[in-house]
Structure 1
Amino acid sequence: MSGHNKWANIKQRKTTQDAKRSKMFTKLIRELTVAAREGGSDPEANPRLRTAIDNAKAANMPKDKIEAAIKKGTGELEGEELTEIMYEAYAPGGVALLISVVTDNKNRTAQELRHVLSKWGGSLAESGSVSWNFERKGLITVPKEEIEDLDEFMLATIESGAEDIDETADPIEIVTSPENLTKVRNTLKQMGYTVRDQLTYIPKTTVKLSEEDAEKLLKLLDALDDMDDVQEVYGNYDIADEVMEKLAANM
């Protein structure tokens, strides 16, 4: 869990620094559209859409663009025909990847994905060969500095339906079932905490990587992130904090 989140946080900082606004907006608009199509336009009842809206606002996307993307998903406005696909892949060091894409051309995306994976030491996997190692979960983060009474925080979180809490992480990470995500989130918001929540895939087992394999993997993740159609990449890698920061600084 934490390995993926560390890279996601570093990637977010890098994206902001690089100011790849056009490509970022394209991905965000597609996620808003697909999330609304899948679960409806009410973010309180649709955690995936809620996360997409939060991410769009964080990227300073104009409100009218957010609303238009949602309306395309619900059919109120016409939009491109988008297909959501989850690819399974292997990466350097024996890492398993789930690659979520949203595309208007499945053949083009599959060809580009094979090329990127091959170039950076990965390969596509057969359906089911990787996905068995991942579980669909809700993930909530709360800034550590906001928590004055950790025992009270953990008790309230567990009573509201949390499955696991990593109090050593910063921000603190809380894992829930998809069904309990909104309930736990609302409990923490009512207690006054700043909450970010999302639906994600968490690996059952992880692979600890050497610095050499970690460097190869992060280059592959960067290349996948540069693909217009790739929305999210989930992996079962475990990279030491100091190695992650060292490699990210040089990329």
Structure 2
Amino acid sequence: MSGHSKWATIRRKKAVIDSKRGKLFTKLIKEITIAAKQGGGDIDGNPRLRLAVDNAKAANMPAENIERAIKKATGELEGAVYYEVLYEGYGPGGVAILVEAATDNKNRTVAEIRHAFSKNGGSLGEANSVAWMFERKGIITVKRNSMTEDQMMELIIDSPVEDLQTEDEFFEVTTSVENFESVRKALAEKKLEIENASIQWIAKNTINVSGETAEKLEKLIEALEDNDDVQNVYTAADFS
């Protein structure tokens, strides 16, 4: 999963920039709104909402913003209705790409996504054209601080963790969707500093990209992520 970890590093750096632009808060609010709309506004009874709120708090989102998003979703306040949409396509080098979006206008969003693909050397595909190349996994990013990989391994040895990647500043823990919540809770109980935890699409196989192809692919992904309706972008590229 080296390719995924490399892109996780890129995404992590970009998240810092996004927070300055306010884009990160917009994406987090949409996730809170959708989670509360689907499963109710009770954090204790809605795991997806609890996760969204935890991620929002980790990003230092004000509590009143979180509460307002939940109230809009449950009808206590007026607010937009968001729909979850999954777009599939190919980027430069034939790399498969999945785009998760949350939009209040599907026609507008699909037009913008199609434009981003075509402008940056890619093409938007039909439903199920590339989704079969990916699988859902739980990804938990933990700050390293001064912890070694061996110390981290000791902490997770008894947990149902599928993979551990070590980067300069963080650990990336991979779990199955079924074990995601239990592993997240176990890491939190061990007082580890969780930066982010989410269910993501991970490519079953990756394509190595470098040079001009990698540069073009990064531009396409950045163009997609700059769209206010886009929540996440996943690629089957190995940037290592």
TM-score normalised by the chain length of structure 1? 0.84
- Say whether the 8 Å CA contact 2:89–2:96 is kept in structure 1: yes
Task: Give the CA deviation at 1:58.
Answer: 4.5
Give the aligned partner of residue 124 of structure 2: 124
- Say whether the 8 Å CA contact 2:7–2:239 is kept in structure 1: no
Task: Give the CA deviation at 1:179.
Answer: 2.0
Measure the CA separation in 2 of the matches of 1:148 and 1:2. 17
Measure the CA separation in 2 of the matches of 1:24 and 1:190. 26
> Alpha carbons of 1:31 and 1:20: their partners in 2 closer, same or farther (altered >3 Å)?
same
The reply on whether 1:185 has 2:184 as its aligned counterpart is yes
> Alpha carbons of 1:181 and 1:45: their partners in 2 closer, same or farther (altered >3 Å)?
farther
Task: Give the CA deviation at 1:45.
Answer: 5.6
> Alpha carbons of 1:95 and 1:47: their partners in 2 closer, same or farther (altered >3 Å)?
farther
Give the aligned partner of residue 172 of structure 2: 173
> Alpha carbons of 1:99 and 1:149: their partners in 2 closer, same or farther (altered >3 Å)?
closer
Which letter maps to 1:9?
R
Match of 2:9 among 6, 10, 13: 6
Task: Give the CA deviation at 1:145.
Answer: 3.3
> Alpha carbons of 1:74 and 1:148: their partners in 2 closer, same or farther (altered >3 Å)?
same
> Alpha carbons of 1:215 and 1:35: their partners in 2 closer, same or farther (altered >3 Å)?
same
Measure the CA separation in 1 of the matches of 2:136 and 2:168. 20
> Alpha carbons of 1:26 and 1:238: their partners in 2 closer, same or farther (altered >3 Å)?
same
Task: Give the CA deviation at 1:8.
Answer: 1.1
Q: Deviations over 1:177-219 (max 9, x none)?
A: 1221121122222222112321111111111101211111111
Q: Secondary structure of the residue that 1:93 maps to in structure 2?
A: helix
Measure the CA separation in 2 of the matches of 1:61 and 1:168. 26
> Alpha carbons of 1:52 and 1:129: their partners in 2 closer, same or farther (altered >3 Å)?
same
Measure the CA separation in 1 of the matches of 2:149 and 2:123. 46
Give the aligned partner of residue 105 of structure 1: 105
User: C-alpha root-mean-square deviation of aligned residues, in Å?
Assistant: 2.3
Task: Give the CA deviation at 1:42.
Answer: 4.5
> Alpha carbons of 1:200 and 1:149: their partners in 2 closer, same or farther (altered >3 Å)?
closer
- Say whether the 8 Å CA contact 1:4–1:234 is kept in structure 2: no
Q: Secondary structure of the residue that 1:116 maps to in structure 2?
A: helix
Measure the CA separation in 2 of the matches of 1:64 and 1:192. 26
Q: Secondary structure of the residue that 1:193 maps to in structure 2?
A: coil
> Alpha carbons of 1:132 and 1:82: their partners in 2 closer, same or farther (altered >3 Å)?
same
Which letter maps to 2:101?
V
Measure the CA separation in 1 of the matches of 2:149 and 2:218. 36
Measure the CA separation in 2 of the matches of 1:238 and 1:47. 32
Which letter maps to 1:56?
A
TM-score normalised by the chain length of structure 2? 0.87
Task: Give the CA deviation at 1:229.
Answer: 1.0
Measure the CA separation in 2 of the matches of 1:178 and 1:162. 11
Kindly, what percent of the aligned residue pairs are identical? 48
Task: Give the CA deviation at 1:55.
Answer: 4.0
Measure the CA separation in 2 of the matches of 1:160 and 1:59. 26
Q: Secondary structure of the residue that 1:111 maps to in structure 2?
A: helix
Measure the CA separation in 1 of the matches of 2:234 and 2:41. 26
Between stretches 189-198 and 206-215, larger displacement belongs to 189-198
Give the aligned partner of residue 20 of structure 1: 21
Gaps of 5+ in 1: 241-251
Measure the CA separation in 2 of the matches of 1:191 and 1:60. 22
Measure the CA separation in 2 of the matches of 1:214 and 1:177. 29
Measure the CA separation in 2 of the matches of 1:9 and 1:118. 26
Describe how 1:199-210 pairs up with structure 2 within 5 A: 199-210=199-210
Task: Give the CA deviation at 1:157.
Answer: 2.0
> Alpha carbons of 1:45 and 1:121: their partners in 2 closer, same or farther (altered >3 Å)?
farther
Give the count of matched residue pairs: 236
